[in-house]
Structure 1
């Protein structure tokens, strides 16, 4: 399995793809990240065409177990960020 791209590598690849300098690519990446963060934290969802959908889901209160001690305790309800991968991306990886 290949190592994931670092932010520096991603900015460089984005700059090359856009035909812009790294400063503009970094600003674009930061803007996209900020938009996604604001929308998902507000309970919305963001669809990145060809990549997938990022959304927030609520988890109910549940019983969990501490693996070190084996003790069970109640974990409060919380929210978790999920991502559904687009079919086009799945097909490009598998095909």
Structure 2
């Protein structure tokens, strides 16, 4: 499902236009991304939790040459599904 299909589905469910639904969906994702950029956790009851996790510096190998290299520390966004979402699967 892409954002267009999601917007159609939300528009039908809420009785709004596709443009309004797409605007609302985009706003929600922008707010989640903004909170993640600040290092905040976003929890949506019944759906799941978005959290920022630190990935420490680690050793790896260059796949082309096999040479050992250091992979820099970084941050990633992780999603943990809530029980309600897991039950639907």
Same fold, judged at TM 0.5 (above): yes
The gaps in structure 1 that reach 5 residues or longer are none
The structural deviation recorded for 1:70 is 1.5
Q: Distance in 1 between matches of 2:13 and 2:62?
A: 47
The structural deviation recorded for 1:67 is 2.2
Superposed CA offset, 1:54-74 (max 9, x none): 111011111011223221101
Q: Distance in 1 between matches of 2:66 and 2:48?
A: 37
Normalised TM-score (structure 1): 0.87
The structural deviation recorded for 1:31 is 0.9
Q: Which residue of 2 aligns with 1:24?
A: 20
- Are positions 1:51 and 2:38 aligned together? no
Superposition RMSD in Å:
1.0
Normalised TM-score (structure 2): 0.93
Q: How does 1:59-70 map to 2 (within 5 A)?
A: 59-70=55-66
Which contiguous aligned blocks of 4+ residues in structure 1 show a shift greater than 6 angstroms? none
